[in-house]
């Protein structure tokens, strides 16, 4: 599994994590990397920043929503079954799959 945090303003991937299990700790590490990178590049995240994710159980867990609250982020989850507000993430994941895991990729 791969988790990415994308800064939609700059279109940069600011956090990433890979794992053999899809659990809360996995996506939490990705989020923490993104927040750490923003702090250490002197562009900390302001309180109230909107954090959009899909509706997976790891993103809706009490532990993850508590982490968002502690960090001052506002959670946003789209409706199940559509990708209208998740299009940017789907695009990046599609590019990632083509480049990194597609058959014949030098990164595979």
Q: Are 49 and 23 in contact (CB under 8 A)?
A: no
Name the pLDDT band for 104 (thresholds 50, 70, 90).
confident
Angle at 70 between CA 17 and CA 90, to 5 degrees: 35
Which residues, in sequence order, are bridge partners of residue 4? 16
Digit-coded pLDDT (tens) for 52-84: 888 889 999 999 999 999 999 999 887 776 666
Whole-model pTM: value is 0.82
């Amino acid at each position: 599994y791969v988790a990415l945090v994308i800064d939609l303003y700059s279109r940069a991937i600011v956090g990433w994590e890979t794992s053999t299990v899809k659990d809360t700790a996995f996506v939490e590490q990705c989020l923490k990397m993104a927040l750490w990178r923003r702090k250490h590049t002197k562009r900390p995240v302001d309180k109230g920043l909107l954090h959009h994710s899909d509706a997976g159980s790891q993103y809706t867990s009490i532990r993850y929503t508590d982490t968002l609250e502690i960090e001052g982020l506002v959670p946003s989850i789209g409706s199940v079954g559509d990708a209208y507000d998740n299009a940017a993430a789907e695009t990046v994941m599609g590019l990632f799959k083509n480049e990194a895991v597609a058959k014949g990729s030098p990164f595979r």
